[in-house]
Amino acid sequence: MNGQIHFTLNGEKVTSDRHANERLLDVLREDFKLTGVKCGCKEGECGACSVLLNGVLANSCMVAMGSIEGSEVVTIEGYSKTKRFQALSDAYAQTSAVQCGFCIPGMVLACEALLAKNPNPTDAEIRKGISGNLCRCTGYNAIVEAVKIAAREGKGLW
């Protein structure tokens, strides 16, 4: 008798028949077709697979399915329907913070996790907040600027 895994995904209750030892990353991409969750390294080094797990930033490549029973998972697909996302998206556009785009879903969620805890971060705090998210187009400065703009123009959202 092998139980299904139940969790909330982008606000909807879902179940998965996957083994408990499988990666959340693979389930999100393959079963739920949430391909905004990127696979970069499968060892927690790049942050491209970042999701919000019970409200905190997590690398979905390092989360085994059995551990998320009853949990809430938000991916970029779910987050993109929020006002906070819009504020971040507008700010990223203003500073041209997106180049190839591969790191961006994880990067945006890292920014959300940061702003949710600290609505007025300093430069150093922003860099720390996104320190687990690698951008190989070297766009960090533009991203840091974008977070500051989002914090300012999205005042009250966080």
Partner 1 sequence: MVTFSNGYLVDNLADALKIRSEIDVTPYAGGTDLMVDAKEDAVYLFLNKIPELRRIYSDEQYLHIGAACTYTEIFENSLSPQILKDAIDYLAAPAIRNMGTAGGNICNASPKADTALIFYVADAKLRICNTSGERILPIEDFYVGRGKTVLQKDELLVEILVPKQGLEHYYYKKVGARQALAISRVAFAGIFTTENGIITRCAMAFGSVADTVLRFRDLEALFVGKSIAEAKSIRSQFIANYEQAIVPIRGRVSAEYRKSVCMNLLEDFLTQNGI
Least separation in angstroms between CB 87 and partner 1: 20
Residue 66 and residue 104 in contact, taking contact as beta carbons nearer than 8 Å: no
- Our CB check for partner 1 shows the closer of 2 and 156 to be 2
Least separation in angstroms between CB 135 and partner 1: 13
- Our CB check for partner 1 shows the closer of 110 and 149 to be 110
Residue 93 and residue 53 in contact, taking contact as beta carbons nearer than 8 Å: no
Residues at the interface with partner 1 (CB under 8 A): 1-3, 5, 19-23, 42-45, 47, 50, 53, 56-59, 61-67, 69-70, 110, 113-114, 128-129, 131-133
- Our CB check for partner 1 shows the closer of 56 and 93 to be 56
Residue 28 and residue 48 in contact, taking contact as beta carbons nearer than 8 Å: no
Q: What is the DSSP letter of 23?
A: B
Strand runs labelled E in 32-157: 50-53, 56-59, 72-74
